[in-house]
Structure 1
C-alpha cells in the first residue's frame, strides 16, 4: 500500500524525517506548489505514522485503521480542519472492525470513497482492504468490493478516447 518505492532516494529520506501528523501537514504545505507528488507521499506518511502509533497486532487491522486515518486526512483536505471520521468510527464501534468493512463495502459508493480516490488515496478504501485480504471476507463481500472498484476505474477512463 505504501507508494514510497516510487519516490527517489532523496524524497524517501525526506519522508523518513516526518514523525507526526503535523509534520506531514506542514511538509505538504511547504512543498505543494513545487512538488505535488510529495503532497501525496506526505498524506500517506501521515496515515502510516498514526497507524504505527496504535501498535496493532495484525496487518489486516493496520489496513483497516489506515482507511480510517486516510478518511480523516481527506476530511482535513476538504474542510481545512481536523475532524474525526465519526461515521466510520461509529460503524466500527457498533459492528466491529470486520463487520464495519463488510457493511461499508456493501453500501453504494460514498462521498468518502470518491474523495479518497480523487486525492490519490484509493488504496485506502475498505474495498481495497477487502481485495488485499480476501481470505477474511465472504465471496459476496469480495465481489461487491471488486464491482465498486471496477466501476470506479471505468468512470476514470470513460472520458479517455
Structure 2
C-alpha cells in the first residue's frame, strides 16, 4: 500500500481527508502527522518567528482537541486575547498564570512539548522577562518535560 507523506501536502482540507482515512484504516501515526502538518501550514503564514511558533502551537492543540472530541474545537479565549495583545504579550501573560493551559496538557500528552507556549518562551527567552522565562521552565519541569524535549 502506498501511504502518502503529509509533509508533501500544502492544503489543510486535503490533509483532513487523508487524516480521516488514516483514522478509519487504523493508521494513527499518519493521522497524528496530518494534524502536525496542518499546524505547520497555519504557522508558516506568519513572518514573525514568535507569531509563527505561536500559531503552529495553537493549531496543533486545536487539532488534537478536535480529534479527541470528534468535532471542531477552537481555543477561543486564547484566540480572542491574541487579537487584542499579540503573541508575545499573550505568551508572557500565560507564563505568569498559576495553571497550565488546555493546549499545554494536550501537547504534552501527545509528546509534543516543543510546541507548548512554555517552550516557545524558552526558545526566545531574550524576548521575555526573567520571571516569564523562569515560570515557563518551572511549568515544564513540574510536568516532567525535559529541557532537551523542547528544542525546535
User: TM-score if structure 2 supplies the norm length?
Assistant: 0.80
Asked whether 1:122 is paired with 2:110, we answer: no
Asked whether 1:47 is paired with 2:39, we answer: yes
- Alpha carbons 1:40, 1:120 under 8 Å: kept: no
Task: Give 3-state SS (helix, strand or coil) of 2:113's partner.
Answer: coil
RMSD of aligned residue pairs (Cα, Å): 2.2
Segments of 5+ residues of structure 2 without an aligned counterpart are 146-152
Asked whether 1:23 is paired with 2:14, we answer: yes
Aligned length, in residue pairs: 142
Deviations, residues 5-28 of structure 1 (Å, cap 9, x unaligned): xxxxx97x7123322222222222
Deviations, residues 47-69 of structure 1 (Å, cap 9, x unaligned): 011222x3x22222211111221
**Partners in 1 of 2:19 and 2:110 — Cα distance?**
13
- Alpha carbons 2:57, 2:115 under 8 Å: kept: yes
Please list, as runs of the form range in 1=range in 2, the aligned pairs for 1:22-101 lying within 5 A after superposition: 22-32=13-23, 34-52=26-44, 54=45, 56-101=46-91
**Partners in 2 of 1:16 and 1:99 — Cα distance?**
31
Segments of 5+ residues of structure 1 without an aligned counterpart are 1-9, 155-161
Deviations, residues 123-144 of structure 1 (Å, cap 9, x unaligned): 2211010111111111111111
